[in-house]
Chains A and B, each alone.
Chain A
Amino acid sequence: MTDPNPDHNPDPRMPIRRRDQPPTRPRWVNLFGIAVVVLVLVFLVLHFTGLVPMHR
Chain B
Amino acid sequence: MTMTPGQRRFALTMHVVSSVGWFGAVAVFLALSIAGLTSHDSQMVRAEYLVMELIAWFVIVPLCVASVLTGIVSSVGTPLGLFRHYWVLIKLLLIIPSTIVLFVHMGPISLVSHVAAERALSTADLGLQIQMVAAAGAALLVLLVVTALSVYKPRGLTQYGWRKQRGSTRA
Query: Which residues of A are in contact with B by a Cβ distance under 8 Å?
Result: 22-23, 25-26, 28-29, 32, 43, 46, 51-56
Judge whether A55 and B127 touch: CB under 8 Å: yes
* Interchain Cβ contacts under 8 Å between A and B, 5 examples: A22-B162, A28-B156, A43-B138, A55-B107, A55-B131
CB A53 to nearest CB in B, in angstroms, measures 4
Judge whether A29 and B156 touch: CB under 8 Å: yes
Judge whether A53 and B131 touch: CB under 8 Å: yes
| Residues on the A chain within 8 Å of B108, using CB | 54-56
**Residue in chain A with minimal CB distance to B154:** A28
Asked if B111 CB lies within 8 Å of chain A CBs, one says yes
CB B100 to nearest CB in A, in angstroms, measures 13
* Contact pattern, B 97-130, Cβ under 8 Å of A = 1, otherwise 0: 0000000100110010000000000000001101
Query: Which residues of B are in contact with A by a Cβ distance under 8 Å?
Result: 86, 90, 104, 107-108, 111, 127-128, 130-131, 134, 138, 154-159, 162-163
Pick the contact of A26 from B128, B156, B163 — CB < 8 Å?
B156
| Residues on the B chain within 8 Å of A55, using CB | 107-108, 111, 127-128, 131
**Residue in chain B with minimal CB distance to A43:** B138
Judge whether A54 and B159 touch: CB under 8 Å: no
| Bound Cα distance A33, B134 (Å) | 21
| Bound Cα distance A51, B155 (Å) | 38
| Residues on the A chain within 8 Å of B128, using CB | 53, 55
| Residues on the A chain within 8 Å of B155, using CB | 26
**Residue in chain A with minimal CB distance to B107:** A56
Judge whether A29 and B138 touch: CB under 8 Å: no
**Residue in chain B with minimal CB distance to A26:** B156
Judge whether B162 and A25 touch: CB under 8 Å: no
Q: Which 8 A-B pairs have the closest CB atoms?
A: A26-B156, A53-B127, A52-B134, A55-B108, A29-B86, A23-B157, A23-B162, A28-B154
| Residues on the A chain within 8 Å of B107, using CB | 55-56
| Residues on the B chain within 8 Å of A56, using CB | 104, 107-108
Judge whether B156 and A52 touch: CB under 8 Å: no
**Residue in chain B with minimal CB distance to A53:** B127
